[in-house]
Amino acid sequence: MTPEHHSIDISSQAFWDSTFDERERSFARLRTEAGPTWHAPLPADFPYTEPGFWAATTHQDIVYVSKNSELFTSAEGVAVSPMPKEPQVAMSFFLTMDPPEHTIFRKLIAAAFTPRQVKRIQHQIEQTARVIVDGLIGAGDVDFVSACSSLLPMHTVSDMIGIDQKDREPVRRAAEALFGAGEEKMATDVDSLTIMLTQVELLRNAAIEIAEARRRKPEDDLMTNIVQAEIDGHRLTNDQIGAFMILLSSAGNDTTKQTTSHAMLGLARNPEQREWLLADWDGRIGGAVEEFVRWASAVMSFSRRATRDTEIRGSRINAGDKVALFYCSGNRDASAFGGTADVFDITRNHNPHIGFGGGGVHYCLGSHVAKTQLRALFRELLTRTPKVEIGEPVWLKNTFVHGIKHLPAHFPA
Ligand code: HEM
């Protein structure tokens, strides 16, 4: 039997329209419950039948579910919001697969990321970070999000795929719309889904065109490796390459962009931490980047479905029930991060954050690429723009991405 919806509301539009800190107060209360709690579905503008979801809000429960893909499947979708089935599957590729199918695709992709390619990507990231910050020095008043945060992830993903300069802006827009963060809320009504699917088509076709060109004439790039990769007799088809590129551009773009904005704001509000970091850059930037990712929790949630009746710390989960993994809550859990869980602190030395997921087979494939970008960009920003002033953020209202829409900044001459 399904229990009643919990009295603490984490489902209404009003809840998701409130601030991260206000929402965190509700999550903090849920974390004290005996086990995951049952809630009403999140808002959606189309008919759906799902009765609700279990909220995993503690660090421990999120890690447990993430690491047990046999018991908690991704194959029926990973959004917490109700989503129509078809477009979601078309867009998410191996994000919504389970082993053993998932394993084959992860291996195929991993085979393309040779040390040589990783080095090449790193070099491109460092160069692009330098050019972005060149443009900021003396720029005066700018919106940090559009003038900085959004640029490096877009160029990185486009460089990885091999997308032409002229096509990059439409690709960024498509990826953002896909991820749901371009709008005030997730694109869950029929019209916005149609627009989204048109953009998906654009991304897919761009990727397939490049893949075919590399098959005809191989180059020294990631796409060439992707079309040539082979695991257990499997190679990626055009459709699969298209789907991977859609996943890469949606998963790799807005996440890193939002983390950049949150980190900039965190450092601006804590100038003593900025000084601490600059005093030993090489020794401290690694830990600082982990804190950027924890603090930002750019992806607030994903979900799984129980494959059979089971139990998590006393909560009885039925086969087919949706279990939401609130990374944003797990990343503020004092049992994992101690009494300073709710403060930005780049000096923390124990940081088992779940910003890239709770471990397990779907752990973020781009975590190294993301961290390389954050390192490269903040090195340029902190060493070359020491007098930047940061204003008050305009927050994005969204149920999935923890976002900053605008962040006023002043870069003096
Ligand atoms: C700070 C930036 C980023 C954050 C916070 C982030 C977060 C996440 C999270 C939470 C997941 C799901 C993990 C799970 O279900 O256990 C994920 C998966 C994924 N991420 Fe990231 N990500 C970031 C950057 C990137 C970048 C830059 C790329 C690619 C260039 C990328 C590619 C992927 C892919 C392909 C998956 C699916 C992996 C799978 O299903 O096996 N991500 N990411």
CA 327 to chain centre: 11
DSSP string covering 30-85, please?
A: HHTSSS-EEEPPPP-SS------EEEE-SHHHHHHHHT-TTTEESTT---SS---H
The closest-lying atom of ligand 1 relative to the alpha carbon of residue 102 is 41
Q: Regarding beta strands 315-317 and 310-312, do their DSSP bridges make them parallel or antiparallel, or are they unpaired?
A: antiparallel
Q: Which ligand 1 atom sits nearest the alpha carbon of residue 106?
A: 41
Q: Is 219 helix (H, G, I), strand (E, B) or coil?
A: coil
Q: Is 4 within a domain?
A: no
259 CA → ligand 1 middle, Å: 13
Q: What angle do CA 116, 214, 110 make, to 5 degrees?
A: 40
pLDDT score for 1: 64
Query: Angle CA(49)–CA(50)–CA(53) in degrees, nearest 5?
Result: 165
Distance from residue 326's CA to the centre of ligand 1 (Å): 15
How close is the Cα of 251 to the center of ligand 1, in Å? 6
Residue 6 lies in a domain: no
Q: Which of 355, 348, 340 is nearest to 293 (CA)?
A: 355
Residue-level pLDDT at 13: 94
Looking at ligand 1, which atom is closest to the CA of residue 259? 1
Residue 34's closest CA among 65, 48, 55?
A: 55
Tell me the CA–centroid distance for residue 36 and ligand 1, in Å.
24
Between the CA of 304 and the centroid of ligand 1 the distance, in Å, is 16
> Ligand 1 mean position to 170 CA, how many Å?
22
Residue 133 lies in a domain: yes
Q: Is residue 389 part of a domain?
A: yes
Pocket test for ligand 1, best of 125, 255, 295 (most atoms within 8 A of CB): 255
The tokens for 9 are 């509301």
> What parts of the chain have a pLDDT lower than 50?
89, 181-187
In a domain, 5, yes or no: no
The verdict on residue 268 lying in a domain is: yes
| Most ligand 1 atoms within 8 A of CB, residue of 292, 303, 356 to mutate | 356
Q: Pick the residue whose CA is nearest to atom 38 on ligand 1.
A: 362
Which ligand 1 atom lies nearest to the CA of residue 156?
30
Compute the distance between CA of residue 151 and CA of residue 253 in angstroms, rounded to an integer: 9
The answer to whether position 3 is within a domain reads no
Helix (H) or strand (E) holding 360: none
Residues in contact with ligand 1 by the CB-under-6-Å rule are: 66, 94-95, 106, 157, 247-248, 251-252, 255-256, 259, 293, 298-299, 302, 327, 355-358, 360, 362-366, 369-370
Residue 390 DSSP SS3: strand
Q: What is the DSSP letter of 3?
A: P
**How many C-beta neighbours within 10 Å does residue 26 have?**
18
pLDDT in tens, 65-116: 999 999 999 999 999 998 776 555 456 788 999 999 999 999 988 888 888 8
- At 98 the pLDDT is 96
Atom of ligand 1 nearest to the CA of 253: 27
Supply the pLDDT for residue 113. Answer: 84
CATH of the domain at 242: 1.10.630.10
Phi, then psi, of 140 in degrees rounded to 5? 75, -135
Q: How many domains does the chain have?
A: 1
**How far is the centre of ligand 1, averaged over its atoms, from the C-alpha of 356 (Å)?**
6
47 burial (CB, 10 Å; 0-12 / 13-18 / 19+) is exposed
Q: What is the pLDDT of residue 187?
A: 45
Structural domain of 138? 13-80+87-411
**DSSP H/E element including 339:** none
Q: Whole-prediction pTM value?
A: 0.94
Residue 147 DSSP symbol = I
Report the side by side order of strands in the sheet with 389-390. 140-143, 408-411, 389-390
Asked whether residue 2 is domain-assigned, the answer is no
